[in-house]
Amino acid sequence: MSMSSRVASALLLTLVLAAGASAQSLVVVSADAGAPVMRVHPETGATRTIAFAGAPEPLQVGTLDPSSRRVFFVRDATLTAFDLDRHTQQRIPYPYAAGLPWLVWDESSQRLLSVADWPIRVISIDPHSGDSTTLLTLDTNDSGILWGKQAFDPAGRRLFFMIGNNIPERLAVVDLTTRQYQTVVLTGTGHWFLRYDPTSARILTYGNSKSCKPEIRAIDPANGQEEVLAPVPPGLDATINTSAYDEQARRLFYVTFADAGLRIVTFDVETRTFSSVPFPSRTGNLPVFEFLQRAKIARETRPRD
């Protein structure tokens, strides 16, 4: 098992924009003891515990429904929903949870989206019953799901994910309304993650240049062409294929290990500048995380020792 796989299964971060707060913040669901749900200020790294998911098992892929304020994640091969208000959790009887490479919440259908293999099928999952529906089946020539490399355009209801295990790397573009898809060959290489930017209608990614130097790029999903937005400064390299995005402020988040420990890196798309703050994870493992909006943290509790 690779280092990325080990650390991804050990820590889950689900980040949401805390509406109504004087400063924007990230909400982190961690696989530290008791699975604390913590509020993190991206400008300072200051944290405060607001709930405990109480999940001792390693947490894997996750997302959040901002309307019902439920976090969905896979733990111990089980799809689980955690209510941020009531601090309760529910097991969702979806039998193939261990094989989910990622989760996306679709506000329009009020269902979870993911893919299954083989052949590759785009599926939707009922968040209560666990019943799944196949929305689209890809051609058998389009094979090989890449874990953690997906993006979603909720307004256009387009799902993007990378497929194939060989160069050139390819992007599947799925229209959930028409239930049709196309694949495009990406002009860049070494894609670590994907995040959709509705302002530019481009997909943001972290990848390596031809000289193997990291950079932030923007992908045109219509043709796979990529534009370099900025080279990544030394010491701020991504260390796992995970990311989050604040669509309103156009801030891209990812994670790095520095000499002093784990850090959350922020890339401002407008100014094309970088900043980073420490994240005090007790496990010291890398996170899988998302940034979601329209969520508000209603109550907080003191951190537990």
For the entire predicted model, the pTM comes to 0.86
Which region, left, alpha or beta, applies to residue 270 given φ > 0 means left and ψ of -120 to 50 means alpha? alpha
Mean pLDDT, 10 residues at a time, over the chain (305 residues)?
A: 40 46 60 73 79 68 81 85 84 93 94 93 97 95 86 96 83 97 93 95 92 94 97 90 86 83 91 91 51 46 38
Comparing CA positions, the residue from 293, 241, 287, 231 lying closest to residue 264 is: 287
- Closest to 66 (Cα-Cα) out of 94, 32, 107, 97: 107
* Contact between residue 198 and residue 153 where contact means Cβ atoms under 8 Å apart: yes
CA angle 239, 285, 231 (to 5 degrees): 20
Question: What region, left, alpha or beta, does residue 247 occupy, with left being phi > 0 and alpha being psi -120 to 50 degrees?
Answer: alpha
pLDDT the model gives residue 57: 63
Would you put residue 127 in left (φ > 0), alpha (ψ -120 to 50) or beta? Answer: alpha
